[in-house]
C-alpha cells in the first residue's frame, strides 16, 4: 500500500544536525495521519508521499523547512529570583508569549550574576537537519482518525 492522503504511516527515524551529530531517534515507530493534518514537518510528509513499507529515505532540510530560523527575540534575561532555587542550565520552563498569548517552552542557557538567560527557540532553530527514515507500516485511516485529524492506537496519539 502506498502512502496517500488519509493513510496512517508508521516510521522509524533518525535526525542529524548540520554537524552530522545524531540529535533524535525513535525507540518505537511513530505513527501519524498523512495528508496535510500538520502532524509532522510538511517537507518530510511531502517526501513520504507515494512511498511504501520498507522504503528508506534521507530528507535534508533547511531551517525554514524544519524548526524555523533562530529568533533573537525569544532570548530573555530574567532575575534569578523569578526561578526556583534549584534552577540549572538545561531546565525547561513554560511562559506565556505577550504578543500571541501562546505558551512557549524556554530552556535555561546560562546563569550568571543573579541573572538567568532563557531561550524559547527550538534547540535546532536556524540549523539544517537531516531526517533518515524507514517506513514500517501503512494502513488506511479509520473514519474517527480522519475526523480527529490524527492517528489513534498503539503508536498514534489518542487524547480527547
Segment 98-116, tens digit of pLDDT: 778 888 899 999 999 999 9
CATH number, domain 72-119, options 2.60.40.10, 1.10.10.920, 2.40.10.330, 3.40.50.1110: 2.40.10.330
CATH 2.40.10.330 in the chain: give the residue spans: 72-119
CATH 3.10.50.40 in the chain: give the residue spans: 7-67+126-148
Task: Please identify every stretch of the chain with a pLDDT value under 70, giving residue numbers as ranges.
Answer: 154-160
CA angle 12, 45, 50 (to 5 degrees): 90
Sign of the four-CA dihedral 39, 136, 54, 56: positive
pLDDT of residue 155: 53
pLDDT of residue 100: 80
Please provide the CATH number assigned to the domain covering 7-67+126-148: 3.10.50.40
Amino acid at each position: 500500500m502506498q502512502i496517500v492522503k488519509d493513510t496512517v504511516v508508521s516510521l522509524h527515524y533518525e535526525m542529524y544536525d548540520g554537524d552530522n551529530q545524531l540529535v533524535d531517534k525513535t525507540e518505537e515507530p511513530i505513527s501519524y495521519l498523512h495528508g496535510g493534518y500538520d502532524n509532522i514537518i510538511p517537507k518530510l510528509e511531502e517526501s513520504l508521499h507515494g512511498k511504501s513499507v520498507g522504503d528508506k529515505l534521507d530528507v535534508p532540510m533547511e531551517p525554514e523547512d524544519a524548526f524555523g530560523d533562530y529568533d533573537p527575540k525569544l532570548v530573555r534575561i530574567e532575575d534569578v529570583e523569578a526561578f526556583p532555587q534549584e534552577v540549572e542550565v538545561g531546565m525547561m520552563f513554560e511562559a506565556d508569549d505577550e504578543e500571541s498569548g501562546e505558551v512557549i517552552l524556554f530552556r535555561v542557557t546560562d546563569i550568571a550574576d543573579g541573572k538567568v538567560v532563557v531561550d524559547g527557540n527550538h534547540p535546532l532553530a536556524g540549523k539544517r537537519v537531516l531526517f533518515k527514515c524507514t517506513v514500517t507500516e501503512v494502513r488506511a485511516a479509520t473514519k474517527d482518525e480522519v475526523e480527529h485529524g490524527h492517528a489513534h492506537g498503539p503508536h498514534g496519539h489518542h487524547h480527547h
